[in-house]
Amino acid sequence: MDRSGFESAKAGKNTLDKAEEREREDHDSPWKEALEVFFRPFMEFLYPQIAQLMDWQQAPVFMDKELQKISNASQSSRRYADKLVKVRFIDGAEQWIYIHIEVQGKPEAKFAERMFEYFYRIRDRFAQPVISLAVLTDTQASFRPHHFHYERAGCSLQFQFISVKLLDWQHRMDELLNDKNPFGLLIAAQLTAKLVKDSKTRADNLVGFYRLVINKDLDRELIRRLIVFLEWMVYLPAEITAYYNKLVEQVTEETNMPYISLIERKGIAQGLEKGLEQGLEQGLEQGLEQGIGQGRAATLHKLLQLKFGDLTAEYEARLNQADAAELDLWTERVLFADSVQAVFA
């Protein structure tokens, strides 16, 4: 995948229909989870001037519940995610610093005012310094809020916050794809989700991201989670999934890196669906538990088939009768095992 392929995709004739677009936007965005898993790469990539002031020896504290209390539940504007993180700086001060991050997916007239409202609510709640950051993921080049100004009868207020516009990276794809920082790939995925409408090209781009992820200097668990976020951001319609899976299988054969994310999510979703159906008769809690178990078993079964081929009746039976602890153990083993016997040992 190169820059020309990315940019030409914007003119693709096949577009996501409105129902699919609504479905994709109604899913919780991966941004909230990605910010937590890759918080330091996020800060170092988009806000390096702040990242270098932070004491990374002190683990950041994510305060989702506190932010929920501060948030106004009646707000109806659509935005991807917000995050409140408590950190320390390296200046030696013992006080905590609160970083409020807002990921905004669409232009909004009162966005800057809302950023100010969050600032003073957080400041009032914790009586500590607050830093306000905005990530603008929309495609309207002119939407670039960075301050809120109020003035009336000689009384005035000027509130500044730091915003970054992901659209500015549109013509710098090479930097995103080749940077050692894994967050560059997540930005590339977000741009693909926003700008590329041709389903086949989206799948091609995603496979390109997948190849690059494998070569990142990350442990396997972070690689797995990064792939999940990439797929979640890009969103492939159902009719292109088979094409995408075929491409990914080719990559896994070449690299000997087991592929799990899309299969894992679908397996768990199918299991949850079955569990919910059973829950109507046997109780919702029991149905959910069974659904999750079936999802884990389906995921592991697919992974074993992809890596070792069809299973014998003995292993099929063990898989069907396994409890949650066994499924977790075998799923971990399958990533590194050289044989199916080693998985079930």
pLDDT in tens, 165-188: 999 999 999 999 999 999 999 999
CB 106 within 8 A of CB 79: yes
> 298 and 154, same structural domain?
no
- Domain termination site, one of 169, 184, 207: 169
Residue 259 is predicted with a pLDDT of 59
Beta-carbon neighbour count of residue 161 at 10 Å?
A: 20
In a domain, 222, yes or no: no
Query: Could you tell me whether strands 155-160 and 147-152 are parallel, antiparallel, or unpaired per DSSP bridges?
Result: antiparallel
What's the pTM?
Answer: 0.69
Task: Give the Å distances, CA to CA, from 220 to 217, 260, 326, 335, 340.
Answer: 9, 11, 20, 9, 20
pLDDT over 90 (residue 134): yes
Residue 76 is predicted with a pLDDT of 44
pLDDT over 80 (residue 147): yes
Residue 24 is predicted with a pLDDT of 47
Residue 333 is predicted with a pLDDT of 77
Instruction: Give the domain extent around 296.
Output: 262-344
pLDDT over 50 (residue 17): no
pLDDT over 50 (residue 10): no
What's the pLDDT tens digit per position in 68-100?
Answer: 888 764 354 445 578 999 999 998 787 899 999
Tokens of 159: 């509130």
**Is 345 or 44 the better-scoring residue by pLDDT?**
44
In a domain, 229, yes or no: no
Residue 75 is predicted with a pLDDT of 53
> 138 and 277, same structural domain?
no
Tokens of 278: 């059973």
Residue 248 is predicted with a pLDDT of 84
Residue 328 is predicted with a pLDDT of 73
DSSP letters for 90-108: TTS--S-EEEEEEEE-S--
Residue 141 is predicted with a pLDDT of 95
In a domain, 333, yes or no: yes
In a domain, 270, yes or no: yes
> 140 and 13, same structural domain?
yes
- Domain termination site, one of 119, 147, 169: 169
What's the pLDDT tens digit per position in 29-39?
Answer: 689 889 999 99
Domain total for the chain? 2
Residue 274 is predicted with a pLDDT of 57
- Provide the greatest CA pair distance for the chain: 82
27 confidence band (pLDDT: 50, 70, 90):
very low
Quote the mean pLDDT of the chain.
80
pLDDT over 60 (residue 269): no
In a domain, 19, yes or no: yes
What's the pLDDT tens digit per position in 45-58?
Answer: 999 999 999 999 99
Task: Give the Å distances, CA to CA, from 342 to 220, 224, 266, 339.
Answer: 19, 21, 26, 5
Residue 16 is predicted with a pLDDT of 41
Task: Give the Å distances, CA to CA, from 252 to 66, 170, 201, 231, 329.
Answer: 42, 29, 20, 16, 22
CB 294 within 8 A of CB 271: yes
- Domain termination site, one of 169, 185, 206: 169
Residue 151 is predicted with a pLDDT of 95
In a domain, 185, yes or no: no
pLDDT over 80 (residue 139): yes
In a domain, 69, yes or no: yes
In a domain, 236, yes or no: no
Query: Which of 151-155, 252-256, 262-266 holds the top average pLDDT?
Result: 151-155
